[in-house]
Amino acid sequence: MIDQFNRKIEYVRISVTDRCNLRCRYCMPEHGVFKLAHEDILTFEEILTVVKIFAALGIRKIRLTGGEPLLRRNIVELVRNIKSVDGIEKVAITTNGVLLDKMVDALIEAGLDSINLSLDTLNKKIFNQITRRPMFEAVVSSLHKIIAANCEVKINCVPIVGLNDADIIELVSLARDNDIKVRFIELMPIGCASIYKGIPMSAIRNSIEEVYGHLMPLSKDELQGPAEYFSLRGFVGRIGFIDAIDHKFCSHCNRVRLTSDGFLKLCLNSQIGLDVKSLLRSGVSENILMDEMRRAIYNKPQEHHFENNVDKTKMYQVGG
């Protein structure tokens, strides 16, 4: 699918729930959030209908997100069914890891290709401060399990001034002996995150090079998304950086998002999109729905404008 700015859109992030079992400071308020009613979120049947349309439009990669996607009952079967859709080449999931230890084998057996584990620190005290939940041991257990699994693994860290400044180097060390990607993601000024200050990726790079030497750039895989990957001498794994504000990658953005309540969100920093759920439940034909989705994706905005305003989007609602 080619949009109006000649970008090839082939990657969709689908949020399957707005609920989460952590309360990360930059994502959700401490007291929790107003939860969508079960009937307000897309059913698995509806998600599969939309995935088949996405595939017909040229989408090749689906990532399941939340909230925390592993909270959604029968998530393993959803992975299996999505992977069986003709045209879908890769199915991935982004998780906080709390429930992953006991589910990873079943997910991989169902066809899961890649796991992104959100982990901002390997320090238990700091982890508890950031997430507001004492779940460190469960996440570390999941980390060890997925590193040993036959699956692509990415560790996602959001560096924030005053929270996990001192933990960057220890996270990098995970890639020294393990074939994984450790990625640092620039803080987005969205929702709860707007009160925090992210650490610039240039500062992260400098800190890493002071300890481990020169970061050597690697070629980019078109389905990897916006991350720039580097190797370090003596490292088995890779280090990645996603700095969507300091270095916009909008000109080659290849993704759209589907929220848990069925809104096709074309850009993280824009309210422009399509109410897919209403169309689904109004009884329109799949051909009409495909035409509407094609038209919406074609009109994907040219770029975000995080540098000019604080977006009112809540990250837990759109899955990042």
| Residue 309: band (very low, low, confident or very high) from pLDDT cuts 50, 70, 90 | low
Encode pLDDT of 122-142 as tens digits: 999 999 999 999 999 999 999
Whole-angstrom CA distances from 155 to 139, 205, 267, 305 are 12, 16, 23, 27
Burial annotation 67-92 (CB, 10 A radius, 16+ → b, else e): bbbbbbeebbebbbbbbebeebebbb
Q: Which of 170, 232, 224, 168 is nearest to 198 (CA)?
A: 168
pLDDT for 272 equals: 86
Peptide bond into 67 cis (omega under 30): yes
| Residue 5: band (very low, low, confident or very high) from pLDDT cuts 50, 70, 90 | very high
Mean of the per-residue pLDDT values of the chain: 91
pTM of the model: 0.92
What's the token pair of residue 16? 């399957």
| Residue 14: band (very low, low, confident or very high) from pLDDT cuts 50, 70, 90 | very high
Rounded CA Rg of the chain: 19
Judged on CB neighbours under 10 Å (0-12, 13-18, 19+), 316 is: buried
Angle of CA points 197, 12, 184, to nearest 5°: 30
pLDDT for 282 equals: 97
Encode pLDDT of 244-292 as tens digits: 666 667 877 899 999 999 999 998 867 789 999 999 999 999 999 999 9
pLDDT for 46 equals: 98
Residue 12 identity (one-letter amino acid): V
Angle of CA points 29, 33, 36, to nearest 5°: 155
Q: How many CB atoms lie within 10 A of CB 125?
A: 9
| Residue 188: band (very low, low, confident or very high) from pLDDT cuts 50, 70, 90 | confident
Q: If you write DSSP's letter for every residue of 133-187 in order, what string do you get?
A: S--HHHHHHHHHHHHHSSSEEEEEE--BTTTSGGGHHHHHTHHHHSS-EEEEEPP
**Largest interatomic CA distance in the chain:** 59
The share of the chain scoring above pLDDT 70, in percent, equals 91
* Structural domains of the chain in order of their starting residue, each with its CATH number: 11-318 (3.20.20.70)
Q: If you write DSSP's letter for every residue of 240-305 in order, what string do you get?
A: EEE-TTTS--GGG--EEEE-TTSEEES-TT---EEEHHHHHHHT--HHHHHHHHHHHHHT--S---
The strand ranges marked E within 16-173 are 61-65, 90-95, 114-118, 152-157
Lowest-pLDDT range, 69-73, 109-113, 181-185, 239-243? 239-243
